[in-house]
Structure 1
């Protein structure tokens, strides 16, 4: 069939064969019909999807049977698995069903959605259906009452928790908002005040209108705990809380277990009539509910939440009050029968786990992966399917990591992939201070007890070698001293004297003749050293070369000599720019800022000589040879040779 079929014609044909296939429960009939149109240019899936929805509408207009509807959705799922229609079709059909059915029938139909949660999580359905399923569940929740249909609402929320992964942000309260619409209304007419006295031992507790208002006013703080960060509201919260907790402490509960197995009802909201408060205070479930609300608020107020305002912070005395109040609440839970000790321990574990979830949200909700234990057979299968070494190295390179062949070496090497930056780390500076290193030598010199030569640190060759290395790192000019007139132990002795002299708690007798002579000799040597250092600097500035000192290249080459080198670099200056560390946008800037290639090359060479400490002709020659820029390299060689001949 080569011609393009009309949409309505295809829709009618598919509906007829679909009706027959569903009645006989034979998906093959529908599959054979679709194959007839596979080689045509017609869009097959759209009319087939519409045929499914048309047949569903006929089923819903007849006497509605939930079992038939479930079978019909199963039939559409099988059709999707055979790639006859779009993967979103089953959820679209479910949306049509829930839009038409009553809430009681919706609850029966939702059981089918729950039981097939693994189907919706399949790769075929998950990506296309997740948004449709979320919309379906939200539409149902809007139709339901949170107080009368609590169980159904809970089933929907549990399904969403099972369906979406932990890291799915659409199911999380990311910004930590409170349900401010959950308002607890209570009586405010004091004319109907009823006073009740409850005796507990020798203590009387008066349950009057004032206590009634305090009790139910706390629900506003539980609804929005951020009010407690206000000074005035904090005082109100503390006053009301202690009044309620003291009343709970004074009213002891007696719990009598019934021989009959009676189901205790669950109420999402308690009645707030003042006449019922006396009975509610004696109810175990009611008391535990209120105490648990206290614990939740006490845990939230001092905790660190990512989206809290900076002003929401408790003072030290407020934190201490919360800690003492928390202990009091736990004691009340332990005293509340039945199994108070066990119930309090369970609540403590639940709240501790909530702290972990809070930390997880503060970290940006990273994906949680479950690692299953592996047995030997699993490891063997994995080893048989091990990737080639080249593939592993390539994969590591793409991730910006190094693969060293060993797990530990790979881990250590990737702590800081940039070796130069790792070497600059402060933790790699193991060099001791002069005071710490020479502390024992100073102590020997300050000691009045004679020191034997074998115990004298200044005459220990190992100590002398390490001392010279340390002095070289701390003050390089110390090596310029004339050691023929000042032997090494004598030189180190002068250094130790200097260190001891600079110590704030020195005990050296400065009035002694020997100390003054050593000080004078040390000053003369330091002056000699500084003069020698100045001479070395002067020699370097004049490109002085002798047998004992290496030649230091002067950066300041004449403009005429530099022009010759720049002309050779100009044809390929971009290669040199990349090697010198300039980025692509910087290279484009050089091109736009300078009209000719010679001007562009001149600009980049001048910048390099000005900014880089290592910029000299020797390094430039090395770079050009590595880039295979032979003509430019020969020009630099010629310039280096001319400079040496001139010297």
Structure 2
């Protein structure tokens, strides 16, 4: 039995020799010599790999390729099941922690090129959390404004590595970045004033742009105040905020329209620069993470084509959101007809301004329209719960004629007859006195007995047992010849006694007979009643048989002999369903599938999660569509948070048509209440099993 330190020292030398010779067989031979538990050997090798990495990082050469080769060596060791699958990513995290930004950017190319390796079944499930943590640590170290390209590479890698349906990368509940505040105000800033003064001294007289618009403080405040609406567009659904937003937006767009940019400056630059320099300038991308909000800069910013495009694009994004159906929008978040018409007019105006903004305004507008159209598809995908992407099946088959280059004929569905008109269906239903539920199985079930009261009297719905069957064992036990001890008799069982009283109230005439003897204990009373029932057994059997025969005759006379009419009606309905157009048939099947999957939200489900969501029930109530006054009503009605949460959930379950464990669990996951969502799922599964 080798100790951990002995294995660590011996494996360190083997790792060094194996890495220098690029041969894992040396490490494998040494690894197999230890006759200990596999987990102990892996733990020792994991520590040795990190120890040797520290030696490589301490070398003065600092060659990134050596570290990349070492991580590749570790990946090969993982594939041979000598170390844990998370070790390559752990080593990469240690390397990134010890390097500067420049070397981190160089090493990250190795991570990007190895995305197929990280997606392998062996590494994906084990390393995905470590990779996400490593990338987040890098993003926290980097500056979004100074290291923009590197940050973008990290985000692109995460987008390639994780599937689209990965919950950690989705804004499920459509929350906004409310922390992105834009501060403005104040006439001037002393530091900025000095900078502008120096720039004015260096600027030549002929290079000063002509002033085409007067920037006053009122327009300046309206312009930058719009950023608060761009940050949180839900404010626009409020009547007061809508007036402010529409007034500010109209004034700003009119200012843009009156202060158009011409293409003279662009043409002058083309004449002054060569083709190669112009191509390099076009390829160079400039990105400004945050614009300055000083009043003196607004005139210069409005003269910048990129700045104008940024602002106009913000208008388009907000306009599209206001009219888009979002799953987590409140019912009150809907534009009125006059507001929707205003949005449509301003959208056309923004597109017109973008077309007039050089350079390549028309091409830029076409690109923006294409992007916004794709955004509608992404919005629909999120409304459907972010399902996984799957390749669609081939719906149409092609048949070759046998000749080379011959035509291919597609098998098209046969033409179908149109569905019967509603008036004709209602006439047939009235003539037959039947119900048509829109589905063959439901129609058949509903017409088994059109009279609901008679159906309730059916023998099939009589679930009570007979007196003889229920008390058979108890009757045998009260017989002295059976010699059953008192404690083992059925009459001493509380559950048996409770059911016996209910059964006798429905079936036994002795239950309501007046007696002068007081009832001391339930077992004694049951023994008395059982003795009376035992005496009546012969008459009871004959009366029950007669009653059963009578009920059978009633059932036969209850349902009219109209089987031929039922079959004819069902056949005609099934024929209509078969001749229904394909789109209606698909819609019906989808609705049936959704109805079959939809489950009911019971009180047990709500009680199971009330304790979990109690500290956050107000946030949950807001997401479920309740207004501030309604939340205050829930809060004042009951005292404790658990009671308030349970009361709110019960009212929501009764009022909302879409209330189900699945939808509530989806909302809880979006709010980060994972524990409550898991509890709800377990409760729903338990109730389903029951």
TM-score class normalised by the smaller sequence: 0.5 to 0.7
- For residues 572-617 of structure 1, the C-alpha deviation after alignment (integer angstroms, 9 at most, x for no partner) is xxxxxxxxxxxxxxxxxxx8632499889879989xxxxxxxxxxx
Kept in 2, the 8 Å contact 1:134–1:160? The answer is: yes
1:14 alignment counterpart:
11
Asked if 1:594 corresponds to 2:592, the answer is no
Offset of residue 564 of structure 1: 4.4
- Shift of the 19–239 alpha-carbon distance from structure 1 to 2, 3 Å rule, reads same
1:235 alignment counterpart:
243
2:314 alignment counterpart:
293
- Shift of the 80–375 alpha-carbon distance from structure 1 to 2, 3 Å rule, reads farther
Offset of residue 209 of structure 1: 2.9
Gaps of 5+ in 1: 377-407, 409-426, 438-466, 475-540, 542-551, 572-590, 607-631
2:378 aligned to which of 345, 354, 357: 357
Matched residue SS, 1:206: coil
Kept in 2, the 8 Å contact 1:190–1:209? The answer is: no
The aligned runs of 1:208-287 (5 Å cut-off) are 208-255=216-263, 256=266, 258=270, 259=275, 260-261=278-279, 262=281, 263-287=284-308
Asked if 1:26 corresponds to 2:11, the answer is no
> For this pair of structures, how many residues does the alignment match?
434
1:74 alignment counterpart:
72
Kept in 2, the 8 Å contact 1:48–1:85? The answer is: yes
Kept in 1, the 8 Å contact 2:355–2:361? The answer is: yes
Kept in 2, the 8 Å contact 1:56–1:93? The answer is: yes
The aligned runs of 1:537-556 (5 Å cut-off) are none
Offset of residue 236 of structure 1: 2.4
- Shift of the 77–473 alpha-carbon distance from structure 1 to 2, 3 Å rule, reads closer
2:130 aligned to which of 132, 146, 150: 132
Gaps of 5+ in 2: 197-207, 398-412, 414-420, 437-453, 476-492, 509-536, 554-690
2:336 alignment counterpart:
315
Matched residue SS, 2:323: coil
- Shift of the 567–86 alpha-carbon distance from structure 1 to 2, 3 Å rule, reads same
2:364 alignment counterpart:
343
Kept in 2, the 8 Å contact 1:570–1:601? The answer is: no
Asked if 1:432 corresponds to 2:426, the answer is yes
- Distance, in Å, in 1 between the alignment partners of 2:213 and 2:80 is 73
Asked if 1:49 corresponds to 2:63, the answer is no
- Distance, in Å, in 2 between the alignment partners of 1:636 and 1:344 is 89
- Choose 1 or 2 for highest CA Rg: 1
Task: Tell me the TM-score normalised to structure 2 length.
Answer: 0.55
- Shift of the 597–308 alpha-carbon distance from structure 1 to 2, 3 Å rule, reads closer
Matched residue SS, 1:72: helix
Kept in 2, the 8 Å contact 1:565–1:636? The answer is: no
Offset of residue 279 of structure 1: 2.8
Offset of residue 240 of structure 1: 1.9
Kept in 1, the 8 Å contact 2:188–2:296? The answer is: no
- Distance, in Å, in 2 between the alignment partners of 1:125 and 1:293 is 41
- Distance, in Å, in 2 between the alignment partners of 1:116 and 1:41 is 28
2:164 aligned to which of 140, 157, 166: 166
- For residues 371-410 of structure 1, the C-alpha deviation after alignment (integer angstroms, 9 at most, x for no partner) is 487999xxxxxxxxxxxxxxxxxxxxxxxxxxxxxxx9xx
The aligned runs of 1:409-420 (5 Å cut-off) are none
Matched residue SS, 1:275: helix
2:120 alignment counterpart:
122
The aligned runs of 1:513-524 (5 Å cut-off) are none
- Shift of the 12–636 alpha-carbon distance from structure 1 to 2, 3 Å rule, reads farther
Higher-RCO chain (CA-CA 8 Å, sequence separation at least 6): 2
Offset of residue 553 of structure 1: 10
- Distance, in Å, in 2 between the alignment partners of 1:636 and 1:123 is 69
- For residues 76-130 of structure 1, the C-alpha deviation after alignment (integer angstroms, 9 at most, x for no partner) is 0111011111000001111111111111111111111111111111100011111
Offset of residue 357 of structure 1: 1.5
Task: Tell me the TM-score normalised to structure 1 length.
Answer: 0.59
Offset of residue 310 of structure 1: 4.3
